[in-house]
Amino acid sequence: DAGVIQSPRHEVTEMGQEVTLRCKPISGHDYLFWYRQTMMRGLELLIYFNNNVPIDDSGMPEDRFSAKMPNASFSTLKIQPSEPRDSAVYFCASRPGALPYGYTFGSGTRLTVV
Amino acid sequence: AQSVTQLDSQVPVFEEAPVELRCNYSSSVSVYLFWYVQYPNQGLQLLLKYLSGSTLVESINGFEAEFNKSQTSFHLRKPSVHISDTAEYFCAVTVSGGYNKLIFGAGTRLAVHP
């Protein structure tokens, strides 16, 4: 298995533009998580899905952020409009079933909003 | 709700010296504990985990951590570090049940000097 695949690896965009980050989880993993990593706030859980259904989006910072999982093999995190304070590394992770372990993280997308 | 406190943001150490990275957690229920490592510009990799049983857990590269329920701690130790151990280390906690999520500490940057 190729692991959790995120794209793009790097994204530089101008303030006000729409940004879409993509994630392909490991096949068979029922849970998908989006995390954001910044120097100031560390690793924050933004949202997670179970069987493509959003379970907890309490970590989503603002209405400018939205996430979808249209099928078991694809998820997106969208920021519209983007702001400089959104600059961070965004990680996607997936996990099989109800077990508390087995998380696999992607390599992350480094987002820079100028 | 669960939370994790990593007491040291940075730990400088000389090569071949011992090191301890401290982690304390808070939770009202039984927890599962993890240490993840992040090398520069990479995603997070699981280093070791405590689920149940023996309170001392080990990784394949010489790290070990001990679960101490009375002190609510899960400190990470290595008797002799290498330059290649330079990385950021994250302590994380979750609870049993399907709808659980991995909560991370702020991270400790381990810098091994020659």
Q: Which of A85, A92, A94 is nearest to A114 (CA)?
A: A85
- Which residues in chain A touch residue B95, judged by CB atoms under 8 angstroms apart? 100
Contact B24, B7 (CB under 8 A): yes
What is the percent of chain B with per-residue pLDDT over 70, rounded to a whole number? 96
- Which residues in chain B touch residue A42, judged by CB atoms under 8 angstroms apart? 104-107
**Residues near A99 by Cβ (< 8 Å), separated by ≥ 6?**
none
Residue in B43, B103, B107 nearest the CB of A106: B43
**In this complex, do B32 and A48 lie within 8 Å of one another by their Cβ atoms?**
no
Distance CA B39, CA B24 (A): 22
Per-residue DSSP letter, B94: E
What are A11-63's pLDDT values in tens digits?
Answer: 999 999 999 999 999 999 999 999 999 988 889 999 999 999 999 999 998 89
B45 touches chain A (CB under 8 A): yes
What are B26-60's pLDDT values in tens digits?
Answer: 877 778 999 999 998 888 999 999 988 888 888 88
**In this complex, do A106 and B42 lie within 8 Å of one another by their Cβ atoms?**
no
pLDDT for the residue numbered B99: 63
Residue A73 has pLDDT above 90, yes or no: yes
- In a 10 Å sphere around its CB, with 0-12 CB exposed, 13-18 middle and 19+ buried, how is residue B86 labelled? middle
Task: Choose the weakest-confidence range: A1-10, A84-93, B11-20, B71-80.
Answer: A1-10
What are A77-103's pLDDT values in tens digits?
Answer: 999 999 999 999 999 999 987 677 778
What are B57-103's pLDDT values in tens digits?
Answer: 888 889 999 999 899 999 999 999 999 999 999 999 987 665 678 88
φ/ψ of B29, rounded to 5, equals -130, 175
Contact A61, B55 (CB under 8 A): no
pLDDT for the residue numbered A1: 65
B10 touches chain A (CB under 8 A): no
- Which of A97 and A73 is assigned the larger pLDDT? A73
Residue in B43, B97, B105 nearest the CB of A98: B97
pLDDT for the residue numbered B94: 86
B3 touches chain A (CB under 8 A): no
B96 touches chain A (CB under 8 A): yes
Cα A15 to the center of its chain, rounded Å: 20
